[in-house]
Structure 1
Amino acid sequence: MAHILGGIFTSHVPAIGGAIARGQEQDPYWSPFFDGFKPIHRWLATARPDVAVVFYNDHGLNFFLDKMPTFAVGAADSYHNADEGWGLPVQNGFKGDAALSWHIIEGLVEDEFDVTTCQSMLVDHALVVPFQLSWPGGGQWPVRIVPIAINTVQHPLPSPKRCLALGRAVGKALRSWQGDERIVVFGTGGLSHQLDGERAGFINQRYDQFCMDNLGPDPDALTKISALDIVEEAGSQGIEIVNWIAARGALGEDVAEVSRNYHIPISNTAAATMLLESGSTALERAA
């Protein structure tokens, strides 16, 4: 069966992509954030994943307010990056794993999730920036992807509890896959931030640290409040924590924290990075 190696959780602020394009990774403003990826680079070099399952939120490339699926799963052989209006350089496209995508979709429907299936899908900074951070230097991406988009824009929003259940259902499907792929799971977005309105620039360090402290050992603790409560705690865009929650659900129960980094602000966002490793991967590395 497929081997779930672990999970990478990171902010996906488009300004990060701009800093990469300008070569500013070691500027004093940026280096505290970029340096947090050094242990992830070392881990990826050892883990050697074949596939990345990515929980993220679309920013208008595929869905807009008039048609916004709660959960959408890509089932394509390839995915292209496009300019979504931030002026970021368009990156190389991604290879998909359509067979694995369909297996996940079938498992989700069997578990009574009504997902939108996308046989054609563009990917935006919410997926591309985390890959630029994880595999810097450009060139071809070393993994195939299964993108899973979660609605964080149009109300009603999915609850944190439902997003954790989604992730657990994805993990169940992955563990039933008969291939031998090595899989890394991504959760992207956040942490606390608000881009507009009276609370523009809002950051809540207390809530961010609560999320990071509990994500590994007790993800259910993050589901005790509603999506609207998260907006109150973390800002209107801070709801992107549900992407982290879903990704954490896919990892299973036995995880160990390898690294974390928290830096404020990046643009007007509390930027964070975490690496959680599955228990079986830790044992494999120790052997």
Structure 2
Amino acid sequence: MARITAGVAASHVPAIGAAMDRDQVGTDYWKPLFDGFAWTRDWITQERPDVVILVYNDHASEFSLDLIPTFTIGCAETFAPADEGFGPRPVPVVEGHPELAWHLVQSLILDEFDITIANKLDVDHGLTVPLSLMFGAPAAWPVRVVPVAVNVVQYPPPTGNRCWLLGEAIRRAVLSFGEDLNVQVWGTGGMSHQLQGPRAGLINTPFDTAFLDRLVADPQALRRIPHLEYLREAGSEGIEMVMWLIMRGALGADVEELHRHYHVPASNTAVGHIVLRPPV
């Protein structure tokens, strides 16, 4: 049977991808950020996941204000890097896992989640930057991916509690899939940041650090954080952190923290990263 072996969370700042694409990883500005992912790159080489269920948000690349699904699952064979206005990132096409994706869709809809089915989906930096952080710049990604896109752009986004419940439902779906697969669940986005207005550049390290602590020690408290608190404490884009709760909900009650990295700033964003292991 399929099994969930780890949860990974990471920010998906577009400037991180640009730094990698422009060979700036070793510069004074970027090196401290990338050094914090070295442990994970070594670890994931040993773990060799078959599939990553990658929770991210689209940044008006595939979806626009004309169509804004709350939860979308990509069921295609492949997902092309999106053109975000300056051409697609020079990264490999993402290979999907349609069999697992369709199983997730069926299981989640029968579990009373209204899932949008995407049989074609171009993926932007929200999905490709985390892959680059974990795997570098390979000729082909060494893992198949099931994209799970979440609306955290247009109000109202889903609550943290609803995201947690979706994670629990994803866990049930994966464990009921008959193929022997090593599956990881990744949550992306965040941490605190605001890109516009009088508070542009906001970074709230105490809030971010407490969030990372609670992912391990008190995740139930994170389920209750209201939208307004994310806005006030983490900036207008801090709501992306609810996507981490989908990952955390998929791991079960207790987890072991394997690695953590926090860095400010990357562009004008706080970068967070954590690797968690569920009970065996």
Normalised-by-shorter TM-score class: over 0.9
Runs of 5+ consecutive residues of structure 1 not aligned to the other structure:
281-287
**1:259: how far off?**
0.7
Partner residue in 1 for 2:147: 147
How far did residue 93 of structure 1 move? 0.5
Report deviation, 1:209.
0.7
Counterparts of 1:53 and 1:216, CA distance in 2: 20
* 8 Å CA contact 2:81, 2:88 repeated in 1: no
Matching residue of 1:249: 249
Are 1:183 and 2:186 matched, yes or no?
no
| Helix, strand or coil at the partner of 1:109 | helix
Cα gap change, 1:68 to 1:40, in 2 (>3 Å)? same
Give the structure 2 partner of residue 157 of structure 1. 157
- Return the TM-score normalized by structure 2: 0.97
Deviations 1:138-184 (A, max 9, x none): 21001111000110011111111111111111111111111101111
Hey, what's the Cα distance between the residues in 2 that align with 1:121 and 1:137? 22
Hey, what does 1:270 align to over in structure 2? 270
The code of the aligned residue for 1:270 comes to A
Correspondence for 1:25: 25
Counterpart-to-counterpart distance in 2, 1:75 and 1:88? 21
TM-superposed CA distance for 1:190, in Å, is 0.7
Distance 1:80 1:169 in 2: 27
* 3-state secondary structure, aligned to 1:64: coil
Q: Is the 8 A contact 2:81 2:89 kept in 1?
A: no
- CA shift at 1:279, angstroms? 2.4
Matches of 2:36 and 2:88, distance apart in 1: 22
Q: Is the 8 A contact 1:11 1:189 kept in 2?
A: yes
What amino acid is the match of 2:118? C
- 1:27 maps to a residue whose letter is T
Question: What does the per-residue CA deviation read over 1:96-147, in whole Å, with 9 as the maximum and x for residues that have no partner?
Answer: 1111011111111111111111111111101101101100132100111100
Cα distance in 1 for residues equivalent to 2:225 and 2:133 = 31
Match of 1:122, SS? coil
**Distance change >3 Å, CA 220–CA 86, structure 1 → 2:** farther
What residue is the counterpart of 1:166 in the other structure? 166
**Hey, what does 2:114 align to over in structure 1?**
114
Query: What is the rounded CA distance, in whole Å, between the counterparts of 2:99 and 2:89 in structure 1?
Result: 30
- Residue identity opposite 1:259 in structure 2: H
CA distance in 2, matches of 1:39, 1:135: 12
> How far apart in 1 are the matches of 2:109 and 2:100?
14
Shift in Å at residue 86 of structure 1? 5.1
**In the aligned structure 1, how far is the partner of 2:80 from the partner of 2:137?**
18
2:4 — aligned with what? 4
Matches of 2:38 and 2:69 in 1, distance apart?
Answer: 35
Aligned-residue offset at 1:229: 2.1
Deviation at 1:49, TM superposition (A): 0.4
Secondary structure of the residue that 2:80 maps to in structure 1? strand
In structure 2, the partner of 1:62 is 62
Q: Distance in 2 between matches of 1:60 and 1:248?
A: 26
The aligned counterpart of 1:79 is 79
**Ranges in structure 2 where 5+ consecutive residues have no aligned partner:** none
Would you say the 8 A contact 1:82–1:90 is kept in 2? no
Deviation of 1:225 after TM superposition, in Å, equals 1.9
State which drifts further: 26-35 or 148-157.
26-35
Please state how far the C-alpha of 1:94 moved relative to its aligned partner. Answer: 1.2
Give the 3-state SS of the residue equivalent to 1:25 in structure 2. coil
Of 212-221 and 257-266, the range deviating more from structure 2: 212-221
1:230 alignment counterpart:
230
1:92 shift after superposition: 1.2
RMSD: 1.2
Number of aligned residues: 280
Contact 2:163–2:243 at 8 Å: present in 1 too? yes
Structure 2: distance between partners of 1:217 and 1:119: 38
CA distance in 1, matches of 2:114, 2:177: 20
